[in-house]
Structure 1
Amino acid sequence: MAMVMRSLHVALLVSDLERSLEFYRDVLELPIAPRSLNFPGYWLQVGEFQLHLMQAEAWQAPCPRPDKWGRNPHVALQVDDLSDFKDRLEAQGYPLQMSASGRAALFTQDPDGNIIELSQA
């Protein structure tokens, strides 16, 4: 019987590639991965997984549950020092919402409103 082996990537739409790259590369410190496609975008490496940023003009991510960001579409990333990421995000003015479950996790939004969960390893 055929089976799914692993997840390869998640693609996120962003309205401004360079602005989004600053968030993912400079704030979250994800390295850029090589890509050979000829449309605007960046591939970022997260272990064996990739996060693909693709241009979509005037994009704003939906957030139907603004009270609980974790109950909206989001990408979850495991981090080694949640406190450091929290401080870094706050210092740069990114919105934060701590996990309502009480676990060591927070939610933030990239410049286009895509929700990113950071969860302590």
Structure 2
Amino acid sequence: MARAIGLFHATLSVWDLERAEAFWRDLLGIGRHATPSYFPKTVVFLDLGNTMIHLVRYSDEVPRPDHRSTHVAIEVDDLDDAYARVKASGQKLLTEIVERPDMRCFYFLDTEGNRIEFTRH
């Protein structure tokens, strides 16, 4: 039986590719991954080490997805610093830091309204 071995990428719908890419670069130092030439100019790949975030500019005709349960969870090495940086950036925080038995996390909206979870296990 085939088994999942990891997350390859997460795709976020965005209006403004440049603003979204700058947000991730400035917040966590995430750089651009080489985007294959067969992808349109409306797609940017960001490098997260063993996985990627794909930013995709959606057309005006496509309805905006419901972000209440859809989210991307990114593990960070310093959750308190990440929280302070998101707060200082002016992005909308959806929670304070949540303490769980095996992890800590918080949720916020990025520049494009995507729900993001930063976590530390």
Q: Same fold (TM over 0.5)?
A: yes
> Match for residue 110 of structure 2?
110
Partners of 1:80 and 1:16 in 2: CA distance: 28
User: What 5-or-longer segments of structure 1 have no aligned partner?
Assistant: 65-71
> Match for residue 96 of structure 2?
98
2:25 maps to a residue whose letter is R
> Match for residue 15 of structure 2?
15
The correspondence for 1:43, drawn from 42, 45, 51, is 45
The correspondence for 1:56, drawn from 55, 58, 63, is 58
2:10 maps to a residue whose letter is V
**Structure 1, residues 45-88: CA drift from partner, whole Å, max 9, x if none?**
11211110011145744234xxxxxxx11110111111111111
Q: Percent identity?
A: 31
Change (3 A) 1:3 1:95: same
Q: TM-score, normalised by structure 2?
A: 0.81
> Match for residue 120 of structure 1?
120
Q: Secondary structure at the match of 1:98?
A: coil
User: What 5-or-longer segments of structure 2 have no aligned partner?
Assistant: none
> Match for residue 67 of structure 1?
none
**Structure 1, residues 11-36: CA drift from partner, whole Å, max 9, x if none?**
11101101111111111221210111
The alignment covers a number of residue pairs equal to 113
Partners of 2:85 and 2:15 in 1: CA distance: 23
